[in-house]
Amino acid sequence: MSLLSLEKFDCNGESTSVGVRWERWKRALFIYLEASNIDKDVKKKASLLHFGGLDLQEVFYNIPGANIEPSEGVDVFEVAISKLDSYFAPKQSRVYERHTFRLLKQEPEEKFEKFLVKLRKQADKCQFTDKNGNIIDQITEKCYLPELRKKILRIGDEITLDRVITEANTLELVNKQLEEFKDLAKSNGNEEVNKVNSRFKRNFDKPRNVQHGCGRCGNPRHVATDTKCPARDKECLKCGLKGHFRQYCRTRQAFKRKIERIQS
């Protein structure tokens, strides 16, 4: 038993796109039939109706001449497909399809390959005598990369669609590499700035009293609040107060006067 499967066909979706959806679903059906080695027309027809779903079955059985009995020389699957093609794919307006084709353009973030797929799909509906030539013209006019346009114009009438595809893919790759170079350079630059900022921050974040030393004894390795300061219990020979050496008496007196002014 095959593990392959298909989603049912949506007959009730947007009417303007039903023809396109039918072609896509039919292509998936053909791939399924080949992958599952189903080659008998009767079994192909059964697979079509089974995977198509109830809505597709309703459409099929109401199309005159779609459901025929197997007979010699008649492929019931081909007849079924032909009838459904006629039902889902009404006549297309060549003028309208070509107008739609001329509106297609490559968006800024769109890959060239995706843009090319859109052009090819729409070109199939336009009945162009020179399909590749029209695709090249549309790429030249509506591609996003100005460098690609320059290359096409520089090569001139000798340009081919294969050459355009090669040039476009090369340019996209080069532009991507250039962006990576910029990001790498920016990243390295930011690392250097961060190193400088880090060194500055370490120095800036040091307590001011550590940078200037102890106000009691002058030792640069600790602050005035350090309980192990040797001057903490010493009596100043100048002012008679405890807590500092004589040579730092002015600092202490100024500090004391400042406190007195604040309290008053």
Model confidence at 254, in pLDDT bands (50, 70, 90)? Answer: low
Residues 98 and 163 in one domain: yes
CATH number assigned to the domain comprising residue 139: 1.10.1200
Model confidence at 215, in pLDDT bands (50, 70, 90)? Answer: confident
Of 65, 88, 111, the residue at which a domain comes to its end is: 88
Of 88, 103, 124, the residue at which a domain comes to its end is: 88
The reply to whether 125 falls in a domain is yes
Residues 126 and 112 in one domain: yes
| Tally of domains within the chain | 3
The reply to whether 10 falls in a domain is no
pTM assigned to the model: 0.47
Single-letter amino acid code for the residue at 165: I
Show the CA angle centred on residue 143, arms to residues 142 and 144, nearest 5°: 115
The reply to whether 30 falls in a domain is yes
Confidence check: pLDDT of 57 > 70: yes
Residues 59 and 122 in one domain: no
Residues 170 and 227 in one domain: no
Please state, in angstroms and as integers, the Cα–Cα distance from residue 74 to each residue in 40, 77, 79, 167, 196, following that order.
Answer: 12, 9, 8, 49, 84
Residue in the structure block whose two tokens are 């355009």: 164
SS (H, E, C) 167-224: HHHHHHHHHHHHHHHHHHHHHHHHHHHHHHHHHHHHHHCCCHHHHHCCCCCCCCCCCC
Give me 165's structure tokens.
Answer: 């595809």
Q: How many CB atoms lie within 10 A of CB 39?
A: 9
